Amino acid sequence: MKIQIASPSHYITDLRYPWSKHLTQWPPELFVEVARGIHRNVVRFVSHNNQVYALKELMTPVARKEYKLLRELQELGLPVVEAVGLVTNRDEDVAEARARFDLVGEPVDMANRGLLVTHYLDGALPYRIIIQQGISAEQLSQMLDALAELLVRLHLSGFYWGDCSLSNTLFRRDAGLMAAYLVDAETGEMRDKLSEGRREYDLELAETNIGGELMDLEAAGTLPKGQDPIDLAQALVERYSKLWAELTQDEVFDPEDQYLMEQRIRRLNDLGFDVEEMEITTVDNGQRVRMVPRVVEHWHHRRRLNSLTGLQVQENQARRLLNDLSRYKAHLSEVDGRDIPEPVAAYRWLSEVFNPTIEPIPADMKGKLDDAEIFHEILEHRWYLSEASGKDVGQKAAIDSYINTVLKRRQAGDVEIDTDPFVSSQK
Amino acid sequence: MASITFENVGKNYEDVSVIKSLNLEIQDKEFMVLVGPSGCGKSTTLRMIAGLEEITDGKLYIGDRVVNNIHPKDRDVAMVFQSYALYPHMSVFENIAFGLRLRKMPKDEIDRLVNEAAETLGLTPLLDRKPKALSGGQRQRVALGRAIVRKPSVFLFDEPLSNLDAELRVHMRAEIANLQKRLGITSVYVTHDQVEAMTMGDRIAVLHDGNLRQVGTPLDLYDTPQNVFVAQFIGTPNMNILTFKVSDDGSELVHPDLTFKTPAEWKDGIIERKGKNVVVGIRPEHIASSDEQDWTNTAPLKGKVEIIETLGHEVVVHIKMPNEEKKILAKMDVHKVPKVGEEVALEVNVDRLHVFDAETTNRL
């Protein structure tokens, strides 16, 4: 038997597990129950050193391919589950390891069987759980936005998914919006550049899969009332196409209208993308110029916030934090009577706003929320409190109220964070 | 009519040529299997038919229409088994129908098409059931139903069974092959597994390094491989390949451990190669113990047994001949197996040998 481990932070090499046996034969006490979607392969979850891992049964070549692809996507900084290990050669004799267990079920031929190990994405939920818990039309729309954006990012990186669906995605809260993560790359392929045919076919598959999944929810009676699965699936295609066009279409304009180029770059940045290169060619005998942006998928806001503050957060969280940082910079400039350089404002925002907001939050009350998400929720809470009282209540009052109301209710189980996966947003 | 014709089709990725001037005609209603080792270009060929890969050179026809620049959606082809997860809250009927519903097809038309597909697949009594009430094989048939309900002109299968267990894989091979015969829809099936190719295809196209090495029925490929690559790729275990010298008068082929008279049907090719080397292929099933065969034209061979592999009802014996570096493989009856280390006297069936040019590796 051979275990390959990708990440030094995940040494899931515990030989006490019966790796040489099919997951259906492992004793049930080895597994933990977590929120999970529908899988066409056998998938189980184990807990090891306070981390949860998903184990997926596949034939070895398929497992090896998916392991490699997930690692490649991760290295590109794309939102995917972390592949931490691959177990192969499971039919070799490891009698000692399996002798410890009372195996269950029918024996399975283990020739050429592999096991893919991924790190369970904390705080991320499958679409069925989110929707079954009750979801508004707006929130459903946010999920589809997130998935359309994920597919665009993957395509820009040359990745053909081959099975884009809600089932193959996990969703995580991201500053009042949703972020989508790819969890299944079995059918995927990485290319230098995706052909138009592949890209369009991938989108067609996405439409078919998502339509089917939403029809299934409709059949189960859990789709929000008034929502049509066919319209929703088509809406995803429209969102994708709009975003793709904005990111990749060329534009022709008069040479003196340079500001149009800057506007375009700003629009792309606002969408979270960077322009790596701009190709300008003359057309109409030099009367006009054509601009073709070469867009890279890297998260613009996330990288910018990281370079200013060192914070590692998700894209929408970064967008939100950068807005707050800008607001604070304006405030500092006004107080000091001079323009404050951005790095200085960022340092002061971190030490005077962000850290003092997070520090009072007791660690045991944070639950699955990371600091950036808590910061976002406090900003939201402050906005609601201020709306209710007709004046700005200030950050300290907002923090105290957030701890004593929102977090305490959650801790007491009055409001489960997972049963309320979306925090109300002022957006 | 949905024949598929490749006319000098080439595919390059930048400077790398992955398909080189492919000429291949897949007939209407035919089940064509594309087979070859990893990187041979078989999946690229399939994806050019689907419209997922752009064609660099030549013309690709589906029926009498050139489809080089036709959008995948408009080619009337269906990729099978892209996803075989069934929706748990939907009945078998709904699981088959949902793709048509997405296309906003009228309800009557959906009913008619789904009932027809269910009839073909033997699913009619199960149409109201939910997936959890189905067996594994029935679920796979529902997944097939999703593809056939669209009534495409062409089915494309890209290694669809690669993640199934051996038992279900064998079952599904038969299921797909039978269904294709019943429906009579032109099908192209990609696999790297030559056993799958041999058991499913009406014809098989063997690709290697972007070149079509041979196309023919499974028996053609087995009996008359046109080159050493096909000879070794088709058949399990691989064909033994040995270099022989043609005698100066062309009457014999000589190897230090095995000599035989030139068979009559080889004479023309062999005469041209008097005194030169040729390559001879011997299938492991055409080597047997001297006392266990009733072949009419044989040549003796001696060697020492080094390894014995048991494959259920038969065994593969690895034999070291005195003067040959390569071990030769012989397929033997499981009840008549020599021991490891034993010196054995064998016979080769000369009537079933294959001869190839030593330089071009093409069949003489």
Domain annotation for chain B: domains and CATH numbers: 4-232 (3.40.50.300), 240-357 (2.40.50.140)
Which pLDDT does position B205 carry in this prediction? 97
User: Once rounded to an integer, what is the mean pLDDT over residues A404-418?
Assistant: 74
- B256-281: average pLDDT: 92
Q: What is the mean pLDDT of residues A201-215?
A: 94
The residue that leads in pLDDT, A233 or A332, is A233
pTM of the model: 0.77
Chain A residues within 8 angstroms (CB to CB) of chain B: 38-41, 58-59, 61-62, 108-109, 111, 162-163, 165, 167, 186-187, 192, 195-198, 200-201, 204-205, 207-209, 211-213, 215-217, 219-220, 230, 233
Please check the confidence at residue B13 and state whether its pLDDT lies above 70: yes
- For residue B58, the model assigns a pLDDT of 96
- Chain B residues in contact with A230 by the CB 8 A cut-off are 101-102, 104
Facing B102 at nearest CB: one of A39, A41, A233: A233
| Mean pLDDT value across residues A152-164 | 92
In the predicted model, is pLDDT for residue A252 greater than 90? no
| A237 or A28, greater pLDDT | A237
Closest approach of A39 to chain B, Cα-based (Å) = 7
Q: Which residues of B touch A39 (CB under 8 A)?
A: 85
Nearest Cα residue to A56 out of A85, A16, A27, A95: A85
**How far A92 CA sits from the closest chain B CA (Å)?**
17
pLDDT of the residue at A41: 83
Q: What is the mean pLDDT of chain A?
A: 83
Among the partner residues B53, B82, B167, nearest to A197 by beta-carbon distance: B53
Neighbouring CB atoms inside 10 A of A89's CB total 16
Query: Which residue of B lies nearest to A64 if distances are taken between CA atoms?
Result: B163
Q: Chain B: give the shortest CA distance to residue A176, in Å.
A: 30
Q: Which residues of B touch A188 (CB under 8 A)?
A: none
Look at residue B82 and tell me whether its pLDDT is greater than 70. no
The highest-confidence range among B69-73, B220-224, B294-298, B334-338, by mean pLDDT, is: B220-224
Query: In the predicted model, what is the mean pLDDT of chain B?
Result: 91
- Give B-chain residues touching A200 at CB under 8 angstroms: 71-73
Contact A215 B101 (CB under 8 A): yes
Q: Tell how strand B186-191 and strand B31-35 pair up.
A: parallel
Q: Which residues of B touch A212 (CB under 8 A)?
A: 87, 98-99, 102
| One-letter amino acid for residue A264 of the chain | R
User: In percent, how much of chain A has pLDDT > 90?
Assistant: 28
**If interface means Cβ-Cβ distance under 8 Å, which residues of chain B face chain A?**
13-14, 47, 50-54, 71-73, 82-85, 87-90, 94, 98-99, 101-102, 104, 162-167
Q: Give percent of chain B above pLDDT 70.
A: 99
Q: Give the mean model confidence (pLDDT) for residues B122-142.
A: 91
When mean pLDDT is compared across A210-224, A275-289, B17-31, B187-201, the lowest value belongs to: A275-289
CA distance A65 to chain B (A): 12
Write the pLDDT tens digit of every residue in B213-227: 999 999 999 999 999
Q: Kindly report, residue by residue over A369-404, the tens digit of the pLDDT.
A: 888 889 988 988 888 888 888 888 888 999 999 999
Chains A and B form CB pairs within 8 A to the count of 86
Q: How close, in Å, is residue A132 to chain B by CA atoms? A: 13
B299 pLDDT more than 80: yes
**Range with the poorest average pLDDT among A108-112, A178-182, B348-352:** A108-112
For residue A181, the cross-strand partners are A170
pLDDT value at residue A427: 35
Q: Do B87 and A213 touch (CB under 8 A)?
A: yes
Is a pLDDT exceeding 90 seen at residue B352?
yes
Give the pLDDT band of residue B358 (cuts 50, 70, 90).
Answer: very high
Q: Is the pLDDT of residue B47 over 50?
A: yes
Confidence of residue A419 (pLDDT cuts 50, 70, 90): very low
Q: Give me the pLDDT at residue A15, please.
A: 63
Residue B13's H or E segment, with its range, is strand B4-13
Residue B287 pLDDT greater than 90, yes or no: yes
Of B72, B165, B166, the CB nearest to A197: B72
The pLDDT, as a whole number, for residue A230 is 95
The confidence band for A423, taking pLDDT boundaries of 50, 70 and 90, is very low
Closest residue on chain A to B13 (Cα): A192
**What is the ipTM for the molecules in this complex?**
0.78
- Which range, of A314-318, B256-260, B299-303, averages the lowest pLDDT? A314-318
Task: Tell me the chain A residues in contact with residue B98 when contact means C-beta distances shorter than 8 Å.
Answer: 211-212, 215
Q: What is the pLDDT of residue A256?
A: 75
Tokens of A187: 């059918």
Task: For residue B83, list chain A residues with Cβ-Cβ distance below 8 A.
Answer: 40, 163, 165, 187, 205, 209
Q: Of the given ranges (A76-90, A238-252, A326-340), which has the lowest mean pLDDT?
A: A326-340
A167–B85: do the CB atoms touch at under 8 Å? yes
Q: What number is the average pLDDT over the span B272-286?
A: 94
CA of A6 vs chain B CAs: smallest distance (Å): 23
Please give the residue of chain B at the shortest CA–CA distance from A218.
B89
Mean pLDDT value across residues A45-69: 88
Tell if the CB–CB gap between B89 and A220 is shorter than 8 Å: yes
> What value does the mean pLDDT take over residues B302-310?
92
φ/ψ (deg, to 5) at A171: -120, 140
- CB-CB neighbors (< 8 A) of A43 in chain B: none
| B99 closest CB neighbour out of A186, A201, A208 | A208
